Each structure stands twice: as C-alpha cells, then as structure tokens.
Amino acid sequence: MDDLLGNVLDLQAAWTASNTDEMRKRGVHIRQDLPALLKEHSSELADALGVTVEDLEVEGRDGTGLKTEIPWVRVFGREQSPSATTGWYVVYLFSAAGDRVYLSLNQGTTVWTGGDFKARKVEDLRARVGWARPFLAQRMAGRTDLHEEIVLDARTPLGRGYGPGNVVAIEYSREALPSQQLLLTDLLYMLGLLRTVYGAERLAPHIPGDPTPEVLEAEQGAAVVAGRRSRGVPRPGRSGQGFRLTAGERRAIERHSVHMAAVFFEGLGWSVKDVGDRESFDLLLTRGEERLHAEVKGTTSAGHEVILTRAEVEKQRRYYPANALVVVHSIALDRTAEEPVASGGVLHCTSPWEIADEDLTVISYAYRTAVDNKAPTHGVQTAISVLANGSRRSEQVLVTTRADVRDQPEEGEIRV
C-alpha cells in the first residue's frame, strides 16, 4: 500500500488534464489498484465503521475525461454517502506537488434539494466541521499527528475545495511513508471517527450549515408535485442529503413552540387563545382594546428561514401592524422515546411584523396554462404548424415555449 501511495505521488509532478501515459498509470492506481487492495481488508474496515461488508464501499476517482489535479480514494458507508459530493467519508487526498498525501475525514460539497444538487457555501462546510469535531474530541485526545488544516497546493477550484470540508486528517510525507500495517491501523482509526460522526448525524435534528429542515422539505415536496424527474433521487432522511422531519416530529415541534409563545405573551399581560386549527395564524391575543394576530414557527435550525404559505402572507399583511411573528429556533428533539419529544429553544418575537417582498423567496408557482383557450394563440398555432409540416428552423420550436406567457404566475409556498 505504501508503494502504491508513493507511485501516485511520484506521478503528480506530471499532472496534466490530458490523458497522457503518466495520467493513465495514475488512473489505474487510483481507480483499480488502491481500491482493490483496501477491499482485501473489507471485514476489518466494515467493523471499524460499524456497517456490514455489503454496505461498505471503496472507490477512487481521478477525473472522467479531463484528469483532475487532486486524485482521491475514499472509504464510506453506501447509505450515508451515496456519492462523493454528499455525506461524510474518509478519503486519501494526494497533494498537487506530490510531496504528501492526507488521510482525511471529509465531506461532500453539495446538498440535495429535491430537484437539484446545490453547492454548499464554504461557511456552511466549516459550520458542519465545527459541529462534528466536538463529538470526536475524546477519541482524538492524546494523538499529536492529527491536522485540522490540509495543504494540497491545488491550483484548480475543485482541488482547493477539499480544505474547508476537512474535519481532521493525518499527513504522510512522500519521504517518510509508513508501512502498510501502520497505514491500515490509521485507516481503521479514522473509520472509527467516521462511525462516530455517522451516529451523531443519525440523531441530530439539525446540523449547522445544513438547509433548514422545513425549507428543504418544502423544496423537495414542490419538486415532487411538479413532477421533476431526478438523477437517482436520494432517499428521504439523514444521509448527508438533508434531513426531513417525520409527522410526529413536526407535531412535537409545533406544540412546543406554540406553548412557548403562549407563555411568552401571557407574561406580557396578553390573554392568549390558540386558533391555529381554524385560522391562518396561530394565536389570537387580546389585552384590553388591543388585538394581536401571532404566527408561530418552530424549528430545530438556527431560525434564519421559515416556511409561510401564501394565505399566511396575505393575512398577516392585512393584519399589520396588529400582528407578530414568533420564531422558536434551536429546538432540541429527542427521538429515543416512543414518541418524539421537543424541548428548549430560543424565542424571537417580531411585532409589528411587516413582510417585505425582498424577504420572500418563491419555492414553487401555480402556472395558468393555455389549455382551456378556444382559439390557439399565435405561438400555439406555430407549434401546430411545425408538428404538421416540419420545422424549417429549430428556433421556431424554442420560441413557442415562451409565446403564451402573458399573466403573472401565482405564487405557491413562500419562505421568509
């Protein structure tokens, strides 16, 4: 194994995006030789990671077509990290200069929204790293060979992207590569750390840097309702793809946040009535001649975004200034009991609550089509003509897709 790592490092000096002889040799080592060698130890690796041998995977990549500057070989759980762009994994990263290789506990740089993979921001990657490290502190205590920063000397944006995602890494110098036995021991240790992260991820109601669960669910639901086809849609749940709450968890969060809001307003001298089951807001507050209409949103996230329906926005704009938005964020969610239990949280109240257009982001639209029109419009007639007679110019077909857009589309779900 030390020989293979050394061979890859030696070939790094000859890196080019073209498929030269040196890059072909590097590709064989990365995609075939190293994964095959690691798979010989599948039972030990799976044990360390806490998964079955069938759920353990090893893969290497050096670029399809154009060769990447930083090749890698990663070890991971199939369910927890279905692709290199998502989830957590342990990965060998080879420096551009060929002078060092890192064994890094790293993460994917995208998140699934239901319709697309969106790139995570650098600050979100670092927030996730900050979440993971405390879980590993006890296991890392006493080791002096662990690095929180990795230096790959990459010149390409892709190569530079690995640094912010690094949780912890072991660095091996080309001039002092350890024996295969020590390399394997280190790999088992790092997989033990990864196992801890997988366990913490499974129980976490929200990971800093991840999308707000309620927003993610709305985006995924909108994509499903709109009939979006997908490229191997990840399963719902926590696997680095973003977390979706169960119905029971949503109820627990809602009840807890409404209760906190009611106690808060009662402490200010308001009489509180819960009207959430029949009105488009949650609490009707009275104090003498004063009336206040309060919308309550609870979330396990940091509370930077919440989901509002169109009806909620329209009603609260009419109620202004006799209205309020209460966000109870950072709620703790205990899933170990038979029924989920919500507790804690930080209450933030905005009153009066003026909803500005620039604070709203549309998640989906209801679009009024031309299906019921008796007479076809010019654009539709052009499309019919093209279908009947054949297209003289491909541009005609493209134009028809925009010809009938006259009315403003109706907004669907909106978030603040």
Domain ranges for the chain, please list them: 2-203, 247-355, 365-415
Confidence of residue 225 (pLDDT cuts 50, 70, 90): low
> What pLDDT, on a 0 to 100 scale, did the predictor assign at position 272?
97
CATH ID of 247-355, from 1.10.357, 3.30.519, 3.40.1350, 2.60.40: 3.40.1350
Q: Would you say residue 69 has pLDDT above 70?
A: yes
As a dihedral over the C-alpha atoms of residue 392, residue 398, residue 401, residue 402, rounded to 10 degrees, the angle is -110
Identify which has the larger pLDDT, 234 or 76. 76
Distances (CA, A) of 267 to 110, 126, 224, 271, 296: 44, 39, 43, 10, 16
Q: CA–CA separation, 400 vs 297, rounded Å?
A: 43
> What pLDDT, on a 0 to 100 scale, did the predictor assign at position 237?
46
> What pLDDT, on a 0 to 100 scale, did the predictor assign at position 378?
59
Identify which has the larger pLDDT, 336 or 78. 78
Q: Would you say residue 13 has pLDDT above 90?
A: yes
Tell me the pLDDT tens digit for each residue of 231-248: 544 443 444 444 567 889
> What pLDDT, on a 0 to 100 scale, did the predictor assign at position 110?
73
Q: Extract long-range pairs of 398-403: CB within 8 Å, 24+ residues apart.
A: 403/377, 403/378, 403/379
> What pLDDT, on a 0 to 100 scale, did the predictor assign at position 260?
96
Confidence of residue 131 (pLDDT cuts 50, 70, 90): very high
**Residue 408: burial class (beta carbons within 10 Å; 0-12, 13-18, 19+):** exposed
Average pLDDT on 104-133 reads 83
> What pLDDT, on a 0 to 100 scale, did the predictor assign at position 338?
82
**CB neighbour list of residue 32: distance below 8 Å, 6 or more residues apart:** 60
Task: Write down the pTM of the prediction.
Answer: 0.66
> What pLDDT, on a 0 to 100 scale, did the predictor assign at position 302?
83
Contact 195, 90 (CB under 8 A): no
What residues are paired with 284 via a beta bridge? 273, 293
Tell me the pLDDT tens digit for each residue of 363-414: 777 788 778 766 655 555 555 555 555 544 443 333 333 333 334 333 333 3
Q: CA–CA separation, 324 vs 90, rounded Å?
A: 47
Same fold, 2-203 and 247-355: no
Average pLDDT on 68-81 reads 95
Provide the token pair at 76: 């991971």
State percent of the chain over pLDDT 70.
Answer: 80
Please, what CATH class does the domain formed by 2-203 belong to? alpha beta
Average pLDDT on 31-50 reads 97
Average pLDDT on 341-356 reads 95
Confidence of residue 127 (pLDDT cuts 50, 70, 90): very high
